[in-house]
Structure 1
Amino acid sequence: MEEDKGLPARPWDTFQEVPVIEDEQTPWKLIKLLKIVSLSLVALIVFGLALCSKTSFLLLITMSNEGTKTIPDDQKPVILLCIGCSLIASSVFLFLKSIWKACYKTSKLPRKATIALVLFFEFLVSVGAAILTIVAMPHLDIVTNVTILNGVAVLSTLLQVIAQCTAKERNRFLLPSITAFILILLGYALFLALYIMKDPTDIKMAIWVGLAVGGSFLVSFNWWETYFRLIGDNSSSVFLKSLCKDMTKCQNVLHILSSLLRIVVTACVLGAYVPLAKMDWVIVKSIPSRETRIIAITIGIQLISSALCHWFAVAACKMHALRRCFILPLYLASLAVMALLVVPVIVYYQEYRISLNGTASINFTSYCSVVVDGRNQSLKDSVFPNLVLDVTHTLCFLDMSKITDVGILTGSAVSWWLGLVLATLHLWYLNVYRIQRTQDLFVRRLYEGAFIEQSLLLNTRFDIQAKGRKKNLKALETVMVYLCATMWHETYDEMMNIIISIFRLDKYRPKTDPKYNDFTFEAHIYFDDAFEHVEGSQERHLNKYAKNLVEIIAEVYNIFTNIDKKLFKQQQQFPDQKVIRTPYGGRVVITMPHGNNIVVHFKDKELIRHKKRWSQVMYLYYLLGWKLMTKYYRRWKMGGEEKELEAEVQKEKHNTYLLALDGDTDFQPAAVMLLIDRLKMYPRVGAACGRIHPTGSGPAVWFQKFEYAISHWLQKTAEHVFGCVLCSPGCFSLFRAAALMDNNVMKKYSTKSMEASHYIQYDQGEDRWLCTLLLKQGWRVEYNAASDAYTNAPEDFKELYNQRRRWGPSTMANVVDLLGSSNIISQKNPSISKPFMFYQLFSIISAILAPATICLLVAGSLAFILNIHSAAALVMSVIPPAIYLGLCFKLKADTQITIAAVLSVMYAFLMLVVTMSIIGSMVKDKTILTPSSIFVIAMTTIYIITAIMHPQEFPIVFYGVLYIICIPSAYLLLTIYSMVNMNNVSWGTRETKPAAGAATPAANTPQTTKQKAKRTFQRFFSWVKCCNKSNRRSGESQLCVNQENMIPEPAQPEPQPQNTIVEDIGIPEEEQRQAPPVFDCPSQCWVTQLQESSNDMRLQEDSLDQEEQEFWMELQGRYLKPLPDDKERQKKIASDLRELRNKINFAFFFLNALWLVATFTLQVFEAVLSIKIPKFNYSLVETGDKIQIDPIALMFIVGFALSVIIQFLAMLYHRVYTLIHYVAFLDTEPREQKT
């Protein structure tokens, strides 16, 4: 019935089993609360710090006035010295930072013309700032001092007008700029009229006023660079453009020179003015304690608040809160300072008038002469009343009793403030992108402590776009993200997780909706060993894991197309999808509901090399080599402009990202966006990884949860802050195409393992090795703690040990590789310094000595519990691991793990004894000030605070109890097991046994290269011939056998565990063996079976174009040719691996033995060689007794504690920037897209 076509086929069977799709989203109300609280707090902090900075600076100016009495006249040079310090503080910070960069990063030398131009303007600014604040402002009234600093925008407004006229485009700010310029000039005119007309014969005051106007005009050159770059970019002058480029490239050297110049000029002006003002520097050596305290507090508040205000203001902009947390607080700061300083003056004046009880009428002039100048001696030690009267004194020069003077003073103040507001009106329309770089927000890295709010407002970029020019904003460019997942033997639920994540991303960034244009994506899944031999069939079929994947995709597709909750709905008709035969096996192309594609590549291990690393090589060359590069070579051959093509290639390489995923990774779209942000904003970031959360249940998973948490909370953040991350995990990491395509990265990564060390470094930890290659090429790897991904962790003790058996040696091999190249890497990679490499050296030494350290820990507890000599306890603690070490060399791996499991249980009980012994030793010795107790208390405190800083993950801290009792298993037994079995290079996880009923492979017949190529082409075209119409005749069983090549092919067993030695060994091409293929009937080919099994989703067979077909053939022949069996080479590599294992194990355990012997010797002679420290009781009172400490143990404890403290400080720093990024993300993403 035609009218029933849209209705469900079985209305009684419309019920669904729907997995949880959005199980990781944070409640929207909680997110909104977090955003509101964070932004409100930042706004208040910026306002409060600006208020403190400006108020404290103006109080310093006031105290330096001749008639003020808080600080005596002979001590005024100290106040002027403090004003000078506030002027140069930011220059000192910038100088130190630039020197650090010059030492550890590459710095280019600018041209002489650039140096001369920059230093000329810096000289003018530094002279103007020193004259204005040190010489002129102490002679002016407080209202003028508050507002004259707003007048430093005079030149900025003039340059804004010039820049807009030059650009000849978007002149909407032209009128406000002209108005601002007029208002500021009006403010200066009223200021001159007020002071000059007051007493035209006062030459000194005329000089101070002239210096104030001239100084503020010179200070206004401070932001010349903002408009010079704008004018230069919009100008046709080659000289101006080259100057602008030189200033950008050579910023570090220019910062060093300009900072030094400002320090020197300020010192010269200050040093010259003090003698000219008939003051003496000698007083600096002997300042009374009262004055010292007042001055120190004031200048301390000024310096600290200025630096913090600058930092929080920048953070506010990065949080995408420019208007709420940056512009408004700084606008209001000047008004608040005015109120804070003037209101107490009015209050004191009114109180004095009330105190007269109407007996006498007094005006402000009389109040100045009676109260201010003749203040009572009883106020000598009262700081606040003296400061209020000092502020009042600055107003006494003017006759505040006259309405005219008050009106002129108010007019100049209002004109200057309105001029500043109009001069920065463009900020309200400034486009700021989340986590925008500071250098993209502000032109100068300096802030001005003397006028903090003016420097911040005027230092922001003035954005004008000239006609015909496109904005060069990386944040606006659309990037292409390829999701690349590798699969093998994932379970149904694990595959369901990643498929839901991909469909979730499709819904988040629909390709069909043009408003989401920040990135597009395409998902690729590379399925290893997807084909198997089936008994009774000569055709290879998809195995159960591959079939499960197709079934899951169809199920999730159905869920996301019927996501609405309507009770009555029509049956959705899925569009036709594609299934394609390929030279490496097969491909299924699925178009998701919102237009993005999932491409599943089924790999046949008989046609293409298998294992995870070779799947990665496969997608690197396919996506970056074939899809990205080939099209540009075609255009070049067709006569395209070479320079233009090179620019396009570089841009696309820069804006193409690969998201590496495991087959069980579960993630939210927001996690991907946060990683994209890192690569978008920082061009030298080659990779970025997120926070990996292990999932599962059981003690093994609980242990890993705490271990992963500590590793990410402390270790990864420390690497990110002090250097860069050394390993970006392959289960969830975003890579930049330009970094992967760099020299010695992709090409090197496709290298076959030919030596024993290669099997350990290359194949056992491929993600760490890839990051090592990136670091060596100068790329940075970053960590984003807000980007969460979830992956299944080993739940079985054996699987966990096998996983760490791979990770341990490969980690050590890669770190040692980096340390061996530290000189070259520190020169080539600006993120890696020699101090950072020293930190890594200490970490690897700590890891190597971990077994001996655990033995020492156990020995200490045995000595306390059994009351035996420490040397004897050390011997007892070494015996079990020594026996286990010997057994590991003799027994099979499974037996070793069984013994380790038994010992782990025994050590767990012993660790409880260790914990109790530490507490018992504190009780017995009646002190907590021993190295071990201090260490335990400090570490516990650090871990708890760290957990509090990660509120969503705080429950993980309770797994710390399990982690503590498992320390011997993880750092002693597991280390021994992984080191002894490092010659075993099998994968060790997700391994299955051969399928039941599978036949044993028969002997292969030799083939020449020509014959192999011929057979491969025949196999492919025979497939096409037999199955090109299989979709139309799926029910038929017509025989289509290639009679010319009908050679029986024996059944093969299901693929064995990956990463074995046999699979990694190659032999000369002429010795390779391969069975010639035959082809079964269409009804039994895998394409037909897949079409028949996909009830909801129709699969239409398609084919590759000829060029891509040739690409795959060439790629397989060059890099991905299957590695056949070579027994002789297998034996040689196995022998080499055992020899390498023996050498490394000898060195490893010899170092541990040396550590133990040294400690044993010290404990034998502890009376002579130990360090003795005073003993303190619980009340921290010295008892007179001494505590003996092993010097080596003390050194190790101090070193480890210092390392953890460094990591803790890095964590605090990193958490702040993570919060900034996350709040910015919340503020820029639409509400419906955040979840």
Structure 2
Amino acid sequence: MQGAEDSTEPLYVCTTMYQENVEEISKYLCSLKCILLDDILSDVKVETHLVMDDGARDGHLKPYASQLIQLIQTYFSLDSSDSSVSPTPYGVQVRWRLDGSRSSSSMLFVHLKDSRKIRNLKRWSQVMYFNYVLRYRNIGASINGSSDQKNQDGTMDVKEPTGYVLVTDADMEFTVEDIRALLWSCHLNRRLGAICGLTQPIGHTTSALVWFQQFEYAFAHWWGKSTEYSLASVLCAPGCFSLYRAAALHDVIDEYSSHVTSGYESLLKDMGEDRWMSLLMMSKGWEVGYNETSTNKTFCPESNDEFFAQRKRWDLSTLSNTVLSITRYLTLADANSNFNVFFLGYSLTVLLLRIICPAFFMFQMALGLDAQGIDVTVGVICAMTVCTGYGVLCLVTRHRCSVQIRATTFLVVFISLIFVCLAVEMAFDIHGGSFAADYQSGQNDNSTGQNINKTWRQVDQIMRNHNKTPQIGQMPVHWINILIFLSPFLFSVLLHPDHWSVILRAIPHFSLLPALQILLPIYMYCNMADQSWGTREQNRPRDVPTICPLKRPESEKIDWDTKNEEKVDMKEEVEVTCSCHVQYLKQLSDNETEFWETLRNTVIGTSTEFGLSGDEIGKDLGKLRNILLPVVMAINITWLIAAVVTKKTSGSEVFTWTCGVFVAVGIIQVLSMVACKIQSFTVRAALRTDEENARGRAIWIKR
């Protein structure tokens, strides 16, 4: 930012949008309003950019764009004099000046992309706003104006940008304190290129799947991200809510903007853009951090269909980026001192455990059936038959067709019920001797079934016999085993008392976990060629009025339906009609128009100008699936055979050793969680000191 008076670094809030509904956008806008009007950031220059995929078409605002404009005007109490609407090389731009309690006004930009003019997808929306804020707004621009300063030769000065970029999704809920915690972490560690917080999923309704994700998210952050940050660096600063240092973005933006040349790169870049960004930053020597003090909420999938489609994208991108980080280990270690052999070993172990998860849980189910008298070999064969049939179904049917959806839902429920029944049975008797079998034996002895007193005596005797299990002190051994299993989860909750309710989600989580760990990888690999995003593709906008109250006096009338875009001066105040062909607009400056044209023509393009087309990527992904699927199947089948053989000969040595590896990883994660918790106390103490010394001023982002 230019000017001697501008000693604070700017904060750009950049958000990608697609088809969020009213409730989701409302959560985001409420959070945004609090940030823009809160006194804590009153001396910080904040600028907001919302980029919506497919928000305009040939000059028309599409329904989701109309819905967004109305909600913005409602939540920020804006009138017509605050808005400015402009046609752009990528679609439509709407901007407002927001005057509130802060010392300087903030600008809010809405960029509505036309898919016929510029490429869709989240990564390309990020490329748009990263380039715009770093190479146009940040350099030679004031926060209230446009960047129109050029050299005598007509080129722009390219300087290292300053400030921070907060990237979010449009369904997020957060507070100014959450952003403040991330900013303070960046102030304490100048090598942090990006940092994320603790994301908590919420749902429109209450369901077992939502509860599953709430438990999963909590421990994925408490254990997973804590371990990555303690050992080396967080491998993924999620695009839903993370803070990026502008200087770090400047180092990687060109490579981040590269086009896809293979199916593998599609998984790496387009489906896992946040992991790709984090990996690029680490390769340039930057750290990616985690601060659990900063919490945020996001809406999560509530149907099996949407959940599986989302996790397919996540897991494939995670696999691709993890493999790349392992193969690039020497390069990463040379560029970033945080990477070490221990972290490489941890990453390899976690990768292998993820690959064999289907076989591990199938064998676990077979062991449970074996305790009920069904031979473990038969149990494994039955499980493999069901999984093979499901895989074939996914291969021969179209992704997300009704048959595939129903089969997936049925198998999730069916497998979950099997595990729940086995868990209940094992809770009664883990060390042999089924309570149900004893009771049935008692019923057979009581052939008449009429003597109630005798029956109750039998039940009493069974209970007495059942309690004769190995004990430590006064407690049966199997209850000791259960407490040992639950202890790390209970300990984690004790360290996070603000999130104690997560433990209540443990039952639905562990009920669904085996089924999802078995079916999700099959679904993921078999549907690999599908390129759909997975979430919000079935949403429908609410009914919106034909007229959006965007008014501009002294504006120009442009008919976007005509090729010549004939202009007619208008002297009276007019309304923008979202569904008609005539808009009343203010033209962008020549420099900004040139910037967008250059970015579109040389960097982003449309869906066919650069890189592979969608059809070519789909074919390449199909070839990759045909290679990867047999390899993963071979690994799982080999593990299952080894587990069954050792079970028959020496007592489940393979299964026991695998459980030991899981336990070892869990111990590392719990210790890392404790280390991160200690660090979070330090951050909170620093924030309190900041409040006392600076009285709320944002000194942590002073240059």
Do these two structures clear the TM 0.5 threshold for a shared fold by scoring above it?
Answer: yes
Alignment CA distance shift 1:981-1:721 (3 Å): same
Please state if 1:724 is matched with 2:221: no
Tell me the equivalent position of 2:248. Answer: 739
Find the aligned partners of 2:518 and 2:270 in 1 and give their Cα distance: 24
Contiguous gaps of at least 5 residues in structure 2 = 1-5, 434-468, 542-550, 698-703
8 Å Cα contact 1:1030/1:1082 also seen in 2: no
Q: What amino acid is the match of 2:348?
A: L
Residues 523, 597 of structure 1: 8 Å contact kept:
yes
1:1153-1172 equivalence runs, <5 A:
1153-1164=637-648, 1166=649, 1170=650
Distance in 1, matches of 2:409 and 2:669, equals: 32
Q: Distance in 2 between matches of 1:546 and 1:873?
A: 53
Q: CA offsets, 1:945-1004, max 9 Å, x none?
A: 111211111111111100111012221111110111111111122124999xxxxxxxxx
Q: Are 2:417 and 1:909 aligned?
A: yes
- Does residue 19 of structure 2 align to residue 481 of structure 1? no
In the TM superposition, residue 1125 of structure 1 has moved relative to its aligned partner by: 9.4
Q: Structure 2 vs 1, CA of residues 858 and 1130 (structure 1 numbering), >3 Å: closer, same or farther?
A: same
Cα distance change of structure 1 residues 934 and 1148 upon mapping to structure 2, 3 Å threshold: farther
- Name the SS of the counterpart of 1:741 in structure 2: helix
- Matched with 2:303 is 796
Change (3 A) 1:1130 1:836: closer
What residue in structure 2 maps to residue 989 of structure 1? 535
Is contact 2:66-2:578 (8 Å) kept? no
- Once the two structures are TM-superposed, the CA of residue 747 in structure 1 deviates from its matched residue by 1.2
Distance 1:979 1:1080, change over 3 A: farther
1:699 equivalenced with 2:208 (yes/no): yes
Partners in 1 of 2:45 and 2:677 — Cα distance?
Answer: 29
The 3 A distance-change label for structure 1 pair 525 and 712 is: same
SS in 2 for 1:529: strand
Partner of 1:540: 59
Q: Which amino acid aligns with 1:776?
A: S
Distance 1:840 1:921, change over 3 A: farther
In structure 1, the partner of 2:359 is 852
Partners of 2:603 and 2:98 in 1: how far apart?
Answer: 32
Which residue is equivalent to 1:180?
none
Which residue of structure 1 lines up, in the alignment, with residue 458 of structure 2?
none
1:972 to 2:458 alignment: no
Structure 1 residue 714 and structure 2 residue 223: aligned? yes
Aligned counterpart, 2:326: 819
Instruction: Judge conservation of contact 1:911–1:964 (CA < 8 Å) in 2.
Output: no
Shift of 1:877: 3.0
Q: Distance in 1 between matches of 2:350 and 2:517?
A: 14
* Aligned: 1:580 with 2:82: no
Of residues 837, 841, 846 in structure 1, which corresponds to 2:344? Answer: 837
Name which of 570, 576, 589 aligns with 1:1090: 576
Change in 2 beyond 3 A, CA 1:657/1:981:
same
Question: Structure 1 residue 1031: deviation in Å?
Answer: 3.1
Contact 1:576 1:1100 in 2 (8 A): no
| 1:51-90 equivalent positions in 2, closer than 5 A | none
Distance (Å, rounded) in 1 between the aligned partners of 2:620 and 2:332: 30
Contact 2:59–2:92, Cα closer than 8 Å, also in 1: no
Map 1:1187-1206 → 2, pairs under 5 A = 1189-1206=651-668
Question: Against the structure 1 CA distance between its residues 797 and 1083, is the aligned structure 2 distance closer, same or farther, given a 3 Å change threshold?
Answer: farther
**After TM superposition, where is structure 1 displaced by more than 4 Å over at least 4 residues in a row?**
629-639, 928-936, 992-995, 1078-1084, 1128-1132, 1230-1234
TM-superposition CA deviations, 1:131-165 (whole Å, max 9, x none): xxxxxxxxxxxxxxxxxxxxxxxxxxxxxxxxxxx
Q: Match of 1:938?
A: 484
- Determine the C-alpha separation between the residues in 2 that align with 1:1125 and 1:631: 31
Percent identity between matched residues is 27
Does the 8 A contact of 2:40 with 2:176 survive in 1? no
Q: Do residues 766 (structure 1) and 273 (structure 2) align?
A: yes
Which amino acid in the other structure matches residue 418 of structure 2? L
C-alpha distance in 1 between matches for 2:63 and 2:233: 42
In structure 2, distance between residues paired with 1:1092 and 1:1225: 46
Sort the Cα spacing of 1:1233 and 1:656 in 2 relative to 1 into closer, same or farther, 3 A.
Answer: closer
Q: Does the 8 Å CA contact 1:508/1:1233 hold for their aligned counterparts?
A: no
Give the one of 364, 367, 381 matched to 1:875.
381
Any residues of structure 2 matched to 1:645-724 within 5 Å, and which? 649-650=159-160, 653=161, 655-696=162-203, 697=205, 698-724=207-233
1:838 to partner: Cα distance: 0.7
Query: In structure 1, what is the Cα distance between the partners aligned to 2:211 and 2:189?
Result: 36
For residues 720 and 762 of structure 1, the distance between their equivalents in structure 2, rounded to whole angstroms, comes to: 22
Query: Deviations for 1:521-570, whole angstroms, at most 9, x for unmatched residues?
Result: 111111111113xxxxxx63101111111111111112xx9xxxxxxxxx
**Which structure would you say has the larger Rg?**
1
Question: Structure 1 residues 685 and 601, CA, compared in 2 at 3 Å: closer, same or farther?
Answer: same
Query: In the alignment, is the contact (CA less than 8 A) between 1:822 and 1:834 conserved in 2?
Result: no
Structure 1 residues without counterparts, runs of 5 or longer: 1-475, 533-538, 562-572, 640-644, 996-1028, 1047-1076, 1094-1098, 1171-1188
Instruction: Give the residue type in structure 2 aligned to 1:524.
Output: H
Decide whether the 8 Å contact of 2:201 with 2:299 is kept in 1: yes
CA pair 623-800 structure 1, distance change in 2 beyond 3 A: same
Query: CA separation in 1, counterparts of 2:186 and 2:497?
Result: 27
Counterpart secondary structure, 1:794: coil
Equivalent of 1:490 in 8, 15, 20: 20
Answer with 477-486 or 628-637: which moved more: 628-637
Q: How many Å separate the matches in 1 of 2:389 and 2:425?
A: 25
Residue 497 of structure 2 is matched in structure 1 by: 951
Distance 1:1041 1:659 in 2: 36
Could you tell me how far apart the structure 2 residues matched to 1:920 and 1:905 are?
23
Check whether the contact 2:15–2:168 (CA below 8 A) recurs between aligned residues. Answer: yes
2:133 alignment counterpart: 623
How many matched pairs?
Answer: 626
Hey, what's the Cα distance between the residues in 1 that align with 2:619 and 2:75?
Answer: 49
AA in 1 matched with 2:380: L
Q: Which residue, 1211, 1215, 1221 being the options, matches 2:673?
A: 1211
- Distance change in 2, residues 1:1080/1:977 (3 Å): farther
Task: Give secondary structure in 1 for the equivalent of 2:110.
Answer: strand
- Equivalent-residue separation in structure 1 for 2:425 and 2:636 (angstroms): 24
What are the within-5 Å matches in structure 2 for residues 570-649 of structure 1? 576-594=82-100, 595-629=105-139, 637=151, 649=159
Matched, 1:960 2:500: no
**C-alpha distance in 2 between matches for 1:710 and 1:1033:** 54
Cα distance in 2 between the residues matched to 1:993 and 1:1223: 43
Alpha-carbon distance change, 980 to 502 in structure 1, aligned in 2, over 3 angstroms: same
1:529 has 2:529 as partner = no
Displacement after TM superposition at 1:613 (Å): 0.8
1:528 is paired with a residue whose SS is strand
CA distance in 2, matches of 1:1131, 1:503: 42
The offset of 1:598, in angstroms, is 1.0
CA contact (8 A) 2:201 2:297 kept: yes
Q: 1:871 to 1:784 in 2, by over 3 A?
A: same
Cα deviations by residue, 1:162-204 (Å, 9 ceiling, x for unpaired): xxxxxxxxxxxxxxxxxxxxxxxxxxxxxxxxxxxxxxxxxxx
For residues 1143-1182 of structure 1, the aligned pairs below 5 Å read: 1143-1164=627-648, 1166=649, 1170=650
Distance in 2, matches of 1:1100 and 1:676, equals 40
- Residue 230 of structure 1 corresponds to which residue in structure 2? none
* 1:777 corresponds to 2:252: no
The whole-number CA distance in structure 1 between the counterparts of 2:613 and 2:585 is 42
Correspondence for 1:1225 among 680, 687, 694: 687
The structure 2 residue matched to 1:504, chosen from 5, 11, 34, is 34
Say whether residues 1:551 and 2:70 are aligned partners.
yes
Of 1028, 1031, 1043 in structure 1, the residue corresponding to residue 553 of structure 2 is: 1031
Rounded to whole Å, the distance in 1 between the matches of 2:128 and 2:368 is 53
Query: Larger deviation: 825-834 or 869-878?
Result: 869-878
**CA deviation string 1:64-120 (max 9, x = no partner):** xxxxxxxxxxxxxxxxxxxxxxxxxxxxxxxxxxxxxxxxxxxxxxxxxxxxxxxxx
TM-score computed with the length of structure 2 as normaliser: 0.82
Q: 1:905 to 1:631 in 2, by over 3 A?
A: closer
Report the 3-state secondary structure (helix = DSSP H, G, I; strand = E; otherwise coil) of the residue aligned with 2:396: coil
Contact kept? 2:228, 2:234, Cα under 8 Å:
yes
Structure 1 residue 1101, shift from structure 2 partner:
4.6
Structure with more relative contact order (C-alpha pairs < 8 Å, separation 6 or more): 2
